[in-house]
Amino acid sequence: MPERSPHAETRSPQLPAADAAIAEFEQFYLQKFGVLSDATSAIIRLLRASLDELKEELAVHDVAGRVKTFESCVEKYDRKYRGHDSRPICECLTDLIGIRVVCLYEDDIDRIATEIGTLFEVINITNKIETMNKNVDKFGYKAFHCDMQLGRPRGDFAEYRRFAGLPAELQIRTIFQDAWSVIDHQLKYKKKVATALARRINVFAALCELADQEFIRIRDDIRAAPAQLEPTSVQGINSLSLREFLEILRGEFPTNVILPDQADILLVIIKTCDPTFGRPVLLDSFRKLGAVIQENCDAFKARTNRELSPLTRTRLLLSLADPKFAGLVTSRDMRNLKSEISKRIAP
């Protein structure tokens, strides 16, 4: 997202000039805007790289972020804290940095939240999806919110050290939840609306919830239907088909469920690296490196409480087997794991 200059966020003329709390916060805001902006960009990069490793399993649409504007900070302070909270404004607000992850399916939100928990120190969770689902006669805002910060060990890394301890608010929601939230905020919270119009907005919230449910049903019906396992963009006589790819993966990971649509995404990515990628290459890679990949992934799970999926393990396998597949591994954690394995298999 484009960075906004803090100097454009001047004090509102409606605010009393002698308000010492706001004057103090304005000085803090101007001093910290640069590091807040850099921290926002760093968190977005970290999230995108980590979720990219799971793209075959999680349908993430977008990861974005912003630094809260000065006016919005003051408005929130006046609305929620002024008069009954003596802390400085900068300590009251936990969303100076705001991050949003938008996904396609509501049942992916918990998995994304779990991944977030492995990357950041989660301070507080507000599950507005769970809360709304308990209300049988209400429709409205649904999202997963958490307050977080860069914890150890990542906060100790040189590139992240100056961001350690900075609070950020993360929101995870579906495309439909995101659309409703944006429209609702613009229509209802910017000014008062009539009861009839507010009801129409809530009807739209109900339609968005139905759309989320139908999206999941359509996805599940597609997965349950007999797969049309035709070759995926075959570009040579030896190019691996999706049917063969699934056959090999299910043989290597017999206790795991590997869905055709997820495998197809990875196969397309692999073929962008090598259009002639074939069965012999994959089988030979598993024969040479399968055992060491398994051993190191088990150690990774014991160390981080994260279990790597068969498709992520296949990414690691191929990236170690041939430099042409190096781009299959993008996140820092997976690059570090790859480096550890490389040292073990080095002659």
pLDDT bracket for residue 282 (50, 70, 90): very high
Same domain flag for 121 and 85: yes
pLDDT bracket for residue 233 (50, 70, 90): very low
* Contacts with 241 (C-beta within 8 Å, 6 or more apart), sequence order: 229, 230, 231, 232, 234
Same domain flag for 74 and 211: yes
Determine the distance from the C-alpha atom of residue 140 to the mean position of all C-alpha atoms in its chain, rounded to a whole number: 23
Residue 128 inside a domain? The answer is yes
Where among 181, 216, 251 does a domain terminate?
216
Residue 234 inside a domain? The answer is no
CA distance 259 to 220: 11
User: Which stretches does DSSP call E strand in 116-191?
Assistant: 121-127, 144-149, 168-174
* Contacts with 13 (C-beta within 8 Å, 6 or more apart), sequence order: none
* Contact status, residue 98 vs residue 168, Cβ threshold 8 Å: yes
User: How buried is residue 163: exposed, middle or buried, by Cβ count under 10 Å (0-12/13-18/19+)?
Assistant: buried
Residue 211 inside a domain? The answer is yes
Residue 19 has pLDDT above 90, yes or no: no
For residue 267 the two structure tokens come to 């196969």
Residue 225 inside a domain? The answer is no
Same domain flag for 25 and 72: yes
Residue 90 inside a domain? The answer is yes
Residue 297 inside a domain? The answer is yes
Where among 216, 232, 252 does a domain terminate?
216
Question: What residues make up the domain containing 90?
Answer: 6-216
Same domain flag for 203 and 126: yes
* Per-residue pLDDT at 44: 93
CA distance 167 to 94: 6
Same domain flag for 108 and 257: no
Same domain flag for 197 and 82: yes
Residue 332 inside a domain? The answer is yes
State which of 69-78, 148-157, 220-229 shows the largest mean pLDDT.
69-78
Same domain flag for 44 and 172: yes
* Average of per-residue pLDDT across 320-328: 92
Same domain flag for 303 and 168: no
The candidate with the shortest Cα–Cα distance to 245, out of 220, 266, 226, is 266
- The tally of domains found in the chain comes to 2
Residue 16 has pLDDT above 60, yes or no: no
pLDDT bracket for residue 11 (50, 70, 90): very low
Where among 216, 232, 254 does a domain terminate?
216
Q: Which residues pair with 100 in a beta bridge?
A: 64, 171
pLDDT tens-digit readout, 245-267: 989 999 999 888 788 878 888 89
pLDDT tens-digit readout, 93-120: 989 999 999 999 988 998 899 888 888 8
CATH (domain of 47): 3.30.460.10
- Tell me the pLDDT of the chain averaged across its residues: 82
pLDDT bracket for residue 188 (50, 70, 90): low
Same domain flag for 20 and 80: yes
Same domain flag for 204 and 267: no
Residue 274 has pLDDT above 80, yes or no: yes
Residue 236 inside a domain? The answer is no
* Per-residue pLDDT at 140: 58
DSSP three-state, residue 149: strand
Same domain flag for 248 and 209: no
Same domain flag for 67 and 150: yes
pLDDT bracket for residue 291 (50, 70, 90): very high
pLDDT bracket for residue 12 (50, 70, 90): very low
Determine the distance from the C-alpha atom of residue 4 to the mean position of all C-alpha atoms in its chain, rounded to a whole number: 23
Helix (H) or strand (E) holding 95: none
DSSP three-state, residue 145: strand
Say what the pTM is: 0.67
* Average of per-residue pLDDT across 52-68: 87
